[in-house]
Amino acid sequence: MRLSSRSFTKITSKSSPGFSLVELLVVVALIGILSAVGVVTYNGYISGTKEKSAKNIMQQISLAQTEEYSNSGSYFTQESGTCTPSSASSDEIELILFGGGDQIGKEIGYEICISSEGSSSFNIFAEEQGKSSPCQLTLNRNGNFIRGDDC
């Protein structure tokens, strides 16, 4: 018994081997969500790192103040009461306490100043630059940090 070639028909599929539009949209949406979460996490990491750098510099200034007191019998201060951190005050701290070294790097985004609290005490203030509600940090002579509400 012979079969004719007409009795076999080729079955073709209408679907292509690629991805459907819905599958591609789902993948794009997932990538968008993951990148949004990553950007927020990265920005939080960067601001936290800058704050930690500012705190470390403030502690270095406090140690330099101890040396200044040993050498001259008084602490170096820029203003009485509360001071306003600026690039000029940061540069003056670098010049007087660190001999002109670049201890307060501009890349951390904080400016620093030192105010006197009576004749034998001081506070170190740091303020984040370039933000509408900047983070403000205070370090007193005893080494206690106070963080502002915007940190």
For 43-100, write each residue's pLDDT tens digit.
Answer: 889 889 999 999 999 999 999 999 999 998 889 999 888 889 999 999 999 999 998 8
> Which positions ≥6 away from 68 have C-beta within 8 Å?
74, 75, 76, 96, 97
pLDDT tens column, 87-136? 999 999 999 999 888 888 888 999 999 999 877 889 999 999 988 889 99
Assess if residue 12 is contained within a domain. no
pTM over 0.85: no
Assess if residue 138 is contained within a domain. yes
Assess if residue 93 is contained within a domain. yes
Q: Assess contact for 97 and 61: CB atoms under 8 A.
A: yes
Assess if residue 5 is contained within a domain. no
Assess if residue 11 is contained within a domain. no
Assess if residue 17 is contained within a domain. no
Tokens 């307060």 appear where? Answer: 104
Total domains in the chain come to 1
Assess if residue 80 is contained within a domain. yes
Structural domain boundaries enclosing 98:
22-147
Assess if residue 4 is contained within a domain. no
What is d(CA 62, CA 1) in angstroms, rounded to the nearest whole number? 104
Longest CA span, the chain: 119
